[in-house]
Amino acid sequence: MTEKNTTETAPPPELMPMPQVIADLIAEQGDMSDAKFCREYNFAYSDNVWGRVRRWINADPKSPNYGKHFYPGDMAEVLVACEAMLRRIKERKVLASKIRAGTRFIEFTHFETIFNRIKILLEGETQNRGLMYLAPNGGGKTALCREAIAREGGTIVECRESWRDSYFAAILDTCLKVGAKYDGRPPRNSREAEQALITELNKRKGILAFDEGEYFGKCSLSLIKLILNHTPTIVLITAIPQLWNRVQNAAWIESLAVVRRIDHVEELTLIHPGDVLKFVEMRKVNLNGTSEESCRIIARHANNFGRYDLIGRVLDRLVDESPKEYGEVESACIAVEQMMRAPKGDAR
């Protein structure tokens, strides 16, 4: 009797252990939904297929499909797609590690707002997929671009002076950054560049971050509209506010066509003592019980000039373990501000 029961409940030959690649993908997925996970890492099949594969086989002895794969198709091909997706995940991690270069990112409120909008745009379907972050020098524009790419994937393109008067310069630089080619070679004219860029960006939905956006001009602004019209890409533009206003004034009609497609604009206007405190806690600077007043001192100088850059440089001078008093903090702020400022008579 005992032998009969053992035979009846023993797993059939098809009940094989889950392949390691699927187990690894399940671990990477975490709490992410199947739809978002497959879209994020460009799974070759639908999220419904991944959901079936994720369950691997029916292990319920009472089910008529006991021991059978939930996915009825060619499992060998699906496993190849799973391996490709796992490679993309690992590549994304390597990219994030390279971009961050061991540094820690402090998520201030305006940065958090941008990241939240990015997630919403990645999950939705809308043509208004432009985001802008405006901040003075030292306001974290490049850091924001790097962190956005590290989190969600994509490419950073640094705008250049040559873009002011040349559409081809802008689109060629962008093609080279994203790896877009025409017939296996770099594009030779604007038409080839447009076709190559649209083809490349339509492969997956990601982020294209344009840092130093104040270098856009009347002609190159059309590049943003091209990307938003013909690809699912989310475009993030960072710029200095006064210089971006200059771009808009010089190309009013073209800039209106772009601004109409902007989902959200975030601008850094003021640094608060609480923002400085986040730096202090991360750097573990000993302010000898004077952190509230010291953070006010540093915030005042940062708003006067240098923003987050000044905060970082001041704390670099105060980072040793000895306790700091008000006078040391004030002196460090003055010294750093004097060092960072342009000589008298020069434009900031």
Across-strand partners of 234?
A: 207
pLDDT the model gives residue 1: 43
Q: How far apart are CA 346 and CA 348, in angstroms?
A: 6
pLDDT the model gives residue 347: 44
The 3-state DSSP class for residue 267 equals strand
**Which residue type, as a one-letter code, is found at position 65?**
N
Across-strand partners of 158?
A: 211
User: SS in 3 state form for 142-176?
Assistant: HHHHHHHHHHHCEEEEECCHHHHCCHHHHHHHHHH
Residue percentage of the chain with pLDDT more than 70: 88
Q: Could you report the per-residue pLDDT of 291-327, keeping only the tens digit for each?
A: 888 899 999 999 998 899 999 889 888 876 566 666 7
pLDDT the model gives residue 320: 66
Q: Could you report the per-residue pLDDT of 5-37, keeping only the tens digit for each?
A: 444 555 565 567 788 888 888 888 888 888 888
pLDDT the model gives residue 12: 60
β-strands 262-267, 130-134 pairing: parallel
230: nearest Cα among 188, 189, 177, 171: 171
How is residue 26 annotated by DSSP? H
pLDDT band at 2, cuts 50/70/90? very low
Average pLDDT over the chain reads 85
Residues 6+ apart with CB under 8 A from 253: none
pLDDT the model gives residue 14: 57
Query: How much is the CA Rg of the chain, to the nearest whole Å?
Result: 26
Q: Could you report the per-residue pLDDT of 123-182, keeping only the tens digit for each?
A: 888 888 999 999 999 999 998 998 898 888 889 999 999 999 999 999 999 999 999 999
Burial of 114 per CB tally in 10 Å (0-12, 13-18, 19+): buried
pLDDT band at 100, cuts 50/70/90? low
- How many Cβ atoms sit within 10 Å of the Cβ of residue 162? 15
* Sign of the C-alpha dihedral computed for residues 294, 297, 298 and 299 taken in this order: positive
Position 63 pLDDT exceeds 80 = no
pLDDT the model gives residue 4: 45
Average pLDDT score over residue span 186-213: 94
pLDDT the model gives residue 102: 55
Both structure tokens of 56: 């691997």
How is residue 57 annotated by DSSP? B
Q: Which helix (H) or strand (E) holds 239?
A: strand 234-239
- How many Cβ atoms sit within 10 Å of the Cβ of residue 210? 26
| Torsion angle defined by CA atoms of residues 288, 289, 295 and 296, in that order, rounded to the nearest 10 degrees | -120
Q: How far apart are CA 39 and CA 338, in angstroms?
A: 49
Residue percentage of the chain with pLDDT more than 90: 39
